Amino acid sequence: MKAAYITQTGTPDVITYGDLPTPKPTRRQCLIKVGAVDVNPIDIYIRTGAIPAKLTFPFILGRDLAGTVVEAGASVKGIKVGDRVWASNQGTEGRPGTFAEFAAVDKRWLYPIPQGVSDEDIVALSLVGITAQLGLVRYANLRAGEVLFVNGGSGGVGSSVVQMAKILRARVITTAGSAEKVELCRQLGADLVVNYKTEDVDAAIKAFAPEGVNVWWETLREPNFERTIPLLAMRGRMVIMAGRDARPVFPVGPFYVKDCSLHGFAMFNASIREQRPAANAINRWLTEGKLKARIDRVLPLAQAAEAHRLQEESTINRTGTLAGKIVLKP
Ligand SMILES: NC(=O)c1ccc[n+]([C@@H]2O[C@H](COP(=O)([O-])OP(=O)(O)OC[C@H]3O[C@@H](n4cnc5c(N)ncnc54)[C@H](OP(=O)(O)O)[C@@H]3O)[C@@H](O)[C@H]2O)c1
């Protein structure tokens, strides 16, 4: 089969698009003919070696997939050949990644694709959607009527957070770095969108939410607590989920006197049992037409190296080239 893989860490040039053996599913696995995969910033950290990960080379990149079951292991119940399925959390803890024509995936990681939903749309919502649902529901316990703030409402995580917070009936403030992205965030349902390059974000937040922000979702890798804690409401919750190298100053006084709490998490730590309700919610909201994928572009899998270059430039080097996900098709 064709796959996009690495034999060493490094720049995007270390990605090879070539032939690898098609995997054989175990009794508990299904063999999936992959219809679409997507790029996540974590793929960049793995490929560059920025985060410690035990990799067995050749290592197939990619966390998420959507596709069709072509073979089901002997002990797989409830999933049959021909079923359309999606998965996240591959390419970690010894599991191969998804950037290939075929992938063998343990049945416990597989979720059905709702009728009428494309492989491209579901894959673009998989890792980021599970992250958003876990953060909003499990960690921040967002309630109807509360004010939520998230940076970068047209980004991968941000676009899911904006939409899900609206589904949960919160009042949503987000930011964007261009007029086009401001408009995109409005279309996603945000109540207030602030251009962080041309407007005073803090003043806009204070005007919209004089009592403060109930849930502050920080997508930036350099959180500025000196700035953001004063913007929190009484009993405000802050979600942090990016910035492994960040060592910011933390103003203790203004935080605890408002009974605030801080919730850090990485979605890949969530067990299958914890991720499944998030996956079910994504399927339900997609079926109900409440949730939409934010896809910047669709490329052939053969252009995996180019996709990595683009994602790195946009997310890590902060050029903002992308507005949403890159989807790749084998
Ligand atoms: N912990 C977890 O489980 C988890 C899961 C998924 C992702 N992550 C991490 O979360 C981060 C975001 O991931 P992503 O997929 O959403 O990336 P992304 O699609 O590149 O989005 C990044 C967003 O940040 C915004 N942004 C950049 N600089 C900004 C600034 N100065 N002020 C306000 N907004 C700014 C961008 O807005 P503009 O484009 O408008 O400039 C963009 O919307 C990454 O570091 C990723 O590794 C963590």
Residue 46: is its pLDDT beyond 90?
yes
Q: Give 232's strand partners.
A: 213
Contact predicate 194/209, CB 8 Å: no
- Tell me the average pLDDT across 207-223: 97
Helix (H) or strand (E) holding 24: none
201 ligand 1 Cβ < 6 A? no
What radius of gyration do the chain's Cα atoms show?
20
Residue range 100-117, pLDDT digits in tens: 999 999 999 999 999 999
pLDDT at 59: 98
Cα–Cα distances in Å, from 128 out to 139, 212, 283?
15, 26, 14
pLDDT at 94: 92
pLDDT at 52: 83
- Tell me the average pLDDT across 189-193: 98
pLDDT at 308: 98
φ, ψ of residue 154 to 5 degrees: the values are: -100, 0
- Tell me the average pLDDT across 217-225: 96
What's the 21 CA to ligand 1 centre distance in angstroms? 35
What's the 327 CA to ligand 1 centre distance in angstroms? 17
The alpha carbon of 253 is separated from its chain's Cα centroid by a whole number of angstroms, namely 33
Residue 53: is its pLDDT beyond 90?
no
Mean pLDDT, the chain, whole residue set: 98
Residue 54: is its pLDDT beyond 90?
no
- Tell me the average pLDDT across 194-218: 98
What's the 319 CA to ligand 1 centre distance in angstroms? 11
Residue 323: is its pLDDT beyond 90?
yes
Say if strands 59-60 and 84-87 run parallel, antiparallel, or are unpaired: unpaired
Largest interatomic CA distance in the chain: 60
Sign of CA dihedral 23, 29, 35, 38: negative
pLDDT at 299: 98
What's the 67 CA to ligand 1 centre distance in angstroms? 27
Residue 309: is its pLDDT beyond 90?
yes
- Tell me the average pLDDT across 1-22: 98
Whose CA is closest to atom 37 on ligand 1? 152
Nearest atom in ligand 1 to the alpha carbon of residue 320 is 39
